[in-house]
Structure 1
Amino acid sequence: MKYSLSLTQKLSFLAACLFTIIAPVMGYLTIGLAPVIIVGGSALIGLLCWSFTYLRKPVEPRIILPLFILTVAGLQIHIVEEYLMGFAPAMSRLFDIPWSEKSFLMVFALIGPIIYTLTSLGLYYKIPIAGFVAWFIFIGPGVAEFTHFIFPFITPNLLPHNPRSLTAAIEGTVIPEMPNFYFRTTGHYYFPGMWTAILPMVPGCLAIYRLLIKNKPT
């Protein structure tokens, strides 16, 4: 049986495609390659999964909404640890990118919760584009948090063998107090956000399982 999308579904698909293209490009222009890989990869996988699940058959709010709220709640706790331990400046030193704490807070602590709140409302009313945002969160801040366990083994681009914090200008932006969490230099296995990375991962992975296995569109 041939399946046809409604106008709302088509517009939602177009908006999701534009986000998948524009967000990584903006991230690359403002920060560097890392956002392209993380944000772009998560958005692309989310787009594909959403296209074959929620876009065609919106899931009942009682199934997806609690898991989404748990994922973003875990994410916000996770962001607190990242901020306190210097995630943005640590990433700047690791990848030689100009990621300031101000931009980190603006995106994840201020703009992010607004998006999460509106997405929750959209999931309640089964709005298609809300399903895409949910998929993006389940895969990006959800599954992709495992990268925190890999970062300590990556050689930083800036003075990898100097354990002291570094202040330097990167592409014209001064990034103060960039810590070094390189395991071979510090001898400690840690990277900002690693302790709480599991919090959004568990409900995020469970949501993906339920959306792919339990609620396949017919």
Structure 2
Amino acid sequence: MKNPLSIHQKVSFTTACIFTAIAPVVGYLSIGLAPVIIVGGSAIMALIFWSRTYLRRPVDPEIILPLFILTVAGLQIHIVEEYLMGFAPSMSRLFRISWSEKSFLIVFALVGPVIYTLTSLGLYYKIPIAGFVAWFIFIGPGVAEFTHFIFPLISPDLMPQDPNPITAFIGGTKIPDMPNFYFKITGNYYFPGMWTAILPMILGCMAIYRLLLKKQESNY
């Protein structure tokens, strides 16, 4: 029989559920549907795995903390490529969403590192909600990066036959220089972030495997 959750664990679980419900809605209202599918799906999967593992039995920091830091390091390298190659405007053209480079930088280059730092501290002290954030990073910005290999095969919503960058207003926001990476038009199989997407993917998969293996070992 499983031990009942403590007050601290219940608060963490409630917080994670609220995030899982609200984050996709906020993302949809501010950006659009396509990225929300990835974020929302990752949050749901993270909630399931976290509630069955770290929430009830926090993993020792010497196991999960290096995995998290390495995954975040791979993710940050990946984000550099995304920014330099125009990931945000490329996504805007691909899915007709208003994702500016400014909002991309605020979320991933400024707010993101703050969250990663606080999560690392939380994992060190075995704070339950930190485990949820870690699982979300392992699954979302980790495993889900495989989508970069699919994006070049999708016809953009905005002027798919034009290989040149375009500027347009989307949802009242001016998005300049939106490039076209549609493989059928460019003949070049690439999408911003694709070269380094494998870094957080591999590290995220390693972390998930190690954590699930640890859970299995603890059941014996």
Check whether TM > 0.5.
yes
SS at match of 1:92: helix
Amino acid at match of 1:106: I
Distance 2:18 2:123 in 1: 20
- Of all paired residues, the percent bearing the same amino acid is 77
Q: Distance in 1 between matches of 2:52 and 2:87?
A: 34
* Equivalent residue pairs, number: 218
Partner residue of 2:9? 9
Question: Following superposition of structure 1 onto structure 2, how do residues 92-103 of structure 1 map, counting pairs within 5 Å?
Answer: 92-103=92-103
Distance apart, 1:213 and its partner CA: 2.1
Partners of 1:134 and 1:160 in 2: CA distance: 37
The CA distance in 1 between the partners of 2:205 and 2:96, in whole Å, is 31
Counting only pairs closer than 5 Å after superposition, residues 145-156 of structure 1 correspond to structure 2 as 145-156=145-156
Q: Any idea what the Cα deviations from partners look like across 1:101-136, whole Å, max 9, x if unmatched?
A: 000000000000000000000000000000000000
Moved more, 34-43 or 54-63: 34-43
Paired residue type of 2:87: F
CA distance in structure 1 between the aligned counterparts of 2:65 and 2:138, rounded to whole angstroms: 12
Once residues 98 and 31 of structure 1 are traced to their aligned partners in structure 2, the CA distance between those partners, rounded to angstroms, is 6
Task: Specify the alignment match of 2:175 in structure 1.
Answer: 175
Distance (Å, rounded) in 2 between the aligned partners of 1:4 and 1:211 = 22
Q: What corresponds to 2:136 in structure 1? A: 136
Matched letter for residue 115 of structure 2: I
TM-score of the superposition, structure 2-length normalised? 0.97
> Shift in Å at residue 34 of structure 1?
1.5
**For residue 114 of structure 1, what is the amino acid of its counterpart?**
V
Q: Give the TM-score taking structure 1 as reference length.
A: 0.98
Structure 1 position 43, deviation (Å): 0.3
Aligned partner of 1:172: which letter?
G
Q: Distance in 1 between matches of 2:138 and 2:167?
A: 34
Aligned to 1:194: 194
1:127-176 CA deviation, whole Å, 9 max, x = no partner? 00000000000000000000000100011000111000010000100000
Q: CA deviation at 1:3?
A: 2.3
Partner SS for 1:215: helix
Give the Cα–Cα distance (whole angstroms) in 1 for the partners of residues 111 and 34 of structure 2.
20
Residue of structure 1 equivalent to 2:82:
82
3-state secondary structure, aligned to 2:194 = coil
CA drift of 1:211 comes to 1.1
Give the whole-Å Cα distance in 2 for the aligned partners of 1:203 and 1:65.
Answer: 12
Q: Which amino acid aligns with 1:22?
A: I
Q: How does 1:1-218 map to 2 (within 5 A)?
A: 1-216=1-216, 218=219
Cα separation, 1, equivalents of 2:2 and 2:174: 56
RMSD after superposition: 0.8
How far did 1:214 drift? Answer: 2.4
Runs of 4+ with deviation above 6 angstroms: none
SS, match of residue 168 in structure 2: strand
Q: Distance in 2 between matches of 1:2 and 1:89?
A: 48
